[in-house]
Amino acid sequence: MFCRTVVDIQNDACMTNIEGEFPPPTLFRQPLYALSISHLRSLERFDSEIVEHLTHTFLTTENLPIGSEIRRLVQVYLSDYEESFGKINARDAVYNKEMTFSRHPICAYRLTRRVTFLLQDLLSHELTYWPLQKLFDSLRHYENTNTNFGSRFLETVHNFSQQGWPNIENLETWAEKILRLQYVYNLEVNQLADGWVSTVPSNCTLHSFHCYEIAWVAMTTDQFASAIEWLELAKERASVDQKSSVVFIEFSLRNAIKNHNFGFDDVIKMEQGPWFFNRLITFVPGDSKNATKLRDLQYKAFKGNKQKMYSRINYFGLCSGDHLQTEREKAMLFCWNEFKIHPSYVIGPVKMEFLSQHPDIIQMYDILSEEEMGSIISESDDRLEPASSTFVGYNTASFSHHISQTSYHRSLVNSHGSFSKGRDLERKLERLTGLVVQGAVSEDLATASYSAGGHLHPHFDNHKYSGKLDSEKSPMITATFYLNDVELGGATVYTSAGVAASPVKGSLTLWFNIFNDGSVDFDSYHGGCPVLIGEKIVGNVWTNYEYQFSGKCGLQPMEKYRFPVNNEYLPKRKK
């Protein structure tokens, strides 16, 4: 039995084991190509193998006569690949090791779309047109006469099938990520479509139908202003590239404007989500370009306000690099060499920095070795799963489409369980904090991996919240270890404290989640900014409250915990 399409492979379990060389795949594993950087790199390698095989074998064989449909599909696939490298030849693109799709969100979108749609078309026709046995015969022939490509291709296909084939949901998630980068960092749609993400260019650009697809996701998640912007751009590009119907785009644009105007309320506009313009949009072409997005108005009016309702506004600003602390708060910040907190640091002190005082948020540098970070990352890759923890304190968002419910709050993958270096990290935390960390006192180390566009919306780390802790096993302190260098973006921001922690490789950030009486400290509200370029991998340890003190109440309720500086507590800040 032969598989005719990628859909058949997913749904019918029809992949055949050929002479024992191609083991049956694990068919129903959820693909994480839009969330996991390791899965995305695997997809990128598969794509490169496909292109190399098509370039070196298919286009030179008599089985692909000029004018045939299979030859046309091959050329479409190679053309799409070449476009992602700035129109260079596919053969040269395969060997261009400096350019990677996985680090750049626009390139990753094109990669996922190419394999999801164009490869499906190619395989569907290929497996009907050409017996599967001949396909593998050609691979073995290429292996024997040239390189070890044939066996590598078979292995790559097998790994690809084991992880699952890309699907529409992966592509929608990449579109959501692009939209998130747009509104969090206030990026222009034309620059994104030209391959620019913030200050970083790429050769990956978007055609009119790509812009339309992103607009469709924006519409289904009620991001009306973004939908209108992307449809306006799709219309402009369709008149040039002729890859989409201008009439159909205009129809969609009118619907987007109608939906925007139906949901917009001028009376409460400053309380609405940032998905609207500041006024009703007319059907006059380009009218939206003369309007202002509510995101910009709300940020100008409310930035720096510490009330919880404005945490999203502060999230935008802090992620974009704005400083929201007062001059008085900034004046209290400094770095120091800590050598008294534990005898082991007398000879080799630890460099520490106050990112904030009251609340105390500290970043410590050069905490982890290359060996420790490499070991944790390697072990976490084997057990990645979509983030499913329920965090408390999210700003609620009600959307009309299901995909926003899964990734509005978080777009990352987690890895839980026992790590070989986990106990080493716990011992370090005990020395650095003076708290009891090892054993049942803390939750096991958990890693989180963010690919480009990956984020975590502002939240509390307490799993239950009702003003006070429902359980003393809720985290007293959070420790976040940064395990890699992030090319751009990905800061950890504290929306009430008005400060951001840069994801410096090998460093550690520490903060308290509660007051001395066990009640939740709103100043611990924090989130992870979307990664603009590259990836971000962190390790988190949460130390529980109940094991730390025999008497937990201070002289006054709701006093903040503080970090000492060489065993000395600094004077409290006057309000």
Q: Which of 136, 112, 132, 109 is nearest to 8 (CA)?
A: 132
Task: Tell me what pLDDT residue 485 has.
Answer: 92
Mean pLDDT of the chain: 79
Burial of 26 (0-12, 13-18, 19+ CB in 10 A): exposed
CA-to-CA distance for 207 and 84, rounded, in angstroms?
12
| pLDDT over 80 (residue 74) | yes
Query: Domain 328-549 maps to which CATH number in 2.60.120.620, 3.30.300.10, 3.30.200.20, 3.40.50.720?
Result: 2.60.120.620
Enter the pTM of the model.
0.85
CA-to-CA distance for 522 and 392, rounded, in angstroms?
11
- Band (518; pLDDT cuts 50, 70, 90): confident
Q: How many percent of the chain have pLDDT more than 70? A: 72
If one counts every other C-beta atom within 10 angstroms of the C-beta of residue 389, the result is: 12
User: Helices (DSSP H) in 275-381: which residue ranges?
Assistant: 294-302, 311-319, 327-331, 370-380
Please name every residue paired with 447 in a beta bridge, in sequence order, or none if there are none: 415, 539
Q: Which is more confident, 94 or 329?
A: 329
| pLDDT over 50 (residue 392) | no
The first and second tokens of residue 78, run together, are 């190679």
Task: Tell me what pLDDT residue 443 has.
Answer: 72
404-419: per-residue pLDDT in tens?
A: 344 555 666 776 667 7
Burial of 222 (0-12, 13-18, 19+ CB in 10 A): buried
The predicted model gives 503-519 an average pLDDT of: 90
276-308: per-residue pLDDT in tens?
A: 999 999 999 999 999 999 999 999 999 999 888
- Band (62; pLDDT cuts 50, 70, 90): low
Which strands, in side-by-side order, build the sheet including 361-364?
Answer: 335-338, 350-356, 361-364, 508-512, 475-482, 536-544, 446-450, 413-415, 385-386
Residue range(s) occupied by CATH 2.60.120.620 in the chain: 328-549
**Residue 318 to residues 92, 322, 496, 497, Cα–Cα distance (Å):** 41, 5, 11, 10
- Contact 515/559 with Cβ under 8 angstroms? yes
DSSP 8-state class, residue 480: E
- Band (440; pLDDT cuts 50, 70, 90): low
User: Helices (DSSP H) in 264-334: which residue ranges?
Assistant: 294-302, 311-319, 327-331
The predicted model gives 231-248 an average pLDDT of: 95
The predicted model gives 113-140 an average pLDDT of: 63
